[in-house]
Structure 1
Amino acid sequence: MENVYIMNHPLIQHKISMLRNKNTGTNEFRKLVEEIGILMGYEALRDLPVENVEVETPIETCMTPMISGKKLAVIPVLRAGLGMVNSILTLVPSAKVGHVGLYRDPVTHEPHEYYCKLPEAIDERISVIVDPMLAIGGSAEAAVDFVKKQGGKNIKFMCIIAAPEGLKRLHEAHPDVQIYCGHLDRELNDHAYICPGLGDAGDRIFGTM
């Protein structure tokens, strides 16, 4: 699928395997999510625009590339997406942070919005939406919808694991969005959990199991 990137780097796969382990504690889980986000972000941000600026080195003055344009926007899908925000901020400390709050209906599994706050001039920024899990795909689709409704045009979506159903839904709904996925899992079960998955990412990040 065009604009879909499944990561195969050994470091990413190794850390995802550690995430899956039910015995991985909250503190280690949180650190792993951030580390995976950094590794994925390095790849997802490889097409950031740059411009040459004049810099004075200890030896001489030279023209050298720096990131150009409006500051990047990182937009976590609450609440699990918060675990990946520092990943992007580690790479681009000047990035602005927005938030999209969604909850999933326990019966229909469809998303409902309860909060959306994005940086100003979102239409001039590259937006990176982050959520560790792409299951049914409804929340991801809705999050992209919100960003587009406020003018966002250049949008990337980053998740650590995805189900084929969610990946297909998001890609079909927003084929222009670049999707970066750490691992494509087998399927969703009857309760809309990713299999083999890693459980509820939000609960494991915040220790609320």
Structure 2
Amino acid sequence: MSNIHVSNHPCVKAKLSQLRSATAGPRETKALIHEISTLLAAEALAASLSVAPAGQDTTPLGAEYAVEKVAEKVVLVPILRSGLGMIDGTSPSNFPFVLLANTHLPAFNDLLPTPAAIHHLGLFRERATLSPVEYYNNLPTSSAAAGPPADLAIILDPVVATGGTAIAAIQTLRDWGVRRIILCSVLGAKKGVDHAAGEWPEGVQVYLGGLDPGTNEQGMILPGLGDIGDRLFLTIGK
């Protein structure tokens, strides 16, 4: 599908191989997710943003120049819990205080000239049906009279396996009133990514670090990355 973009960046490919390894501990896992996210952010934002004039300013030499700013209002929407690995540079053990104690800006906010608001969605897959269940939503109340809450919402979720969680997030943000959505993931399974990209093809662009052929009976991507949430938050075997 034309709205699916799989990175060909050599560094993304190499880092994804490192991330796949069972020997990568939580610190290495978190660092690799953040680094891959930053590279994907550069690709996604370059293709999705525009600039607008914002007046005049003066250089240190006294010369005037035309100021430009990003034209779009952008919001970031990490999917709890693993989506936090794509926005935060502190230790996973700090959760739930991780956002308050953040000493490193999110990958996308690293690149944006003005930091974007971060809104969280909590979604998990029900074990028997693998259907998404929403347990947390802190999107602000919006009204049609006030205009769209954002021009661009960026969903951050390290993996797209069956696509159910991504579709639920897209539906929620579309109902909220955003104009466009970027779904950014480190890795996806082909069928699940196709489902997510087809949910709102004219409004959604999908950016991936890699694409795997499928999932197992438990809905886990193969060869995949394992359970990224468990790897980040040291809950393997829960």
Q: Which runs of 5+ in 2 are unaligned?
A: 88-105, 143-147
Partner residue of 1:174? 200
1:115 counterpart = 2:136: yes
Partner residue of 1:206? 233
For 2:141 and 2:111, locate their aligned partners in 1 and report how far apart those are by CA, in whole Å. Answer: 21
Kindly indicate whether the alpha-carbon contact (under 8 Å) linking 2:78 and 2:156 is maintained by their aligned counterparts in 1.
yes
For 2:76 and 2:69, locate their aligned partners in 1 and report how far apart those are by CA, in whole Å. Answer: 19
Structure 1 residue 120: Cα displacement: 5.9
Partner residue of 1:187? 214
Structure 1 residue 192: Cα displacement: 1.1
Does the residue aligned with 1:45 lie in a helix, a strand or coil? helix
Identity over aligned residues, as a percent? 36
Does the residue aligned with 2:154 lie in a helix, a strand or coil? strand
Structure 1 residue 207: Cα displacement: 1.8
Aligned residues: 208
Q: How well do the aligned residues superpose, as a CA RMSD in angstroms?
A: 1.4
Q: Which moved more, 1:110-119 or 1:47-56?
A: 47-56
Kindly indicate whether the alpha-carbon contact (under 8 Å) linking 1:97 and 1:119 is maintained by their aligned counterparts in 2.
no
Normalising by structure 1, what TM-score? 0.94
Does the residue aligned with 1:41 lie in a helix, a strand or coil? helix
Partner residue of 1:136? 162
Q: Which moved more, 1:52-61 or 1:150-159?
A: 52-61
For 1:125 and 1:94, locate their aligned partners in 2 and report how far apart those are by CA, in whole Å. Answer: 15
2:111 is aligned, of 56, 68, 91, to 91
Structure 1 residue 119: Cα displacement: 4.6
**After superposition, where does 1:1-209 map in structure 2 within 5 Å?**
1-46=1-46, 47-53=48-54, 54-59=56-61, 60-70=63-73, 72-85=74-87, 86-92=106-112, 94-119=115-140, 123-176=149-202, 177-209=204-236
Q: Which runs of 5+ in 1 are unaligned?
A: none
Matched residue type, 2:77: I
For 1:110 and 1:65, locate their aligned partners in 2 and report how far apart those are by CA, in whole Å. Answer: 44
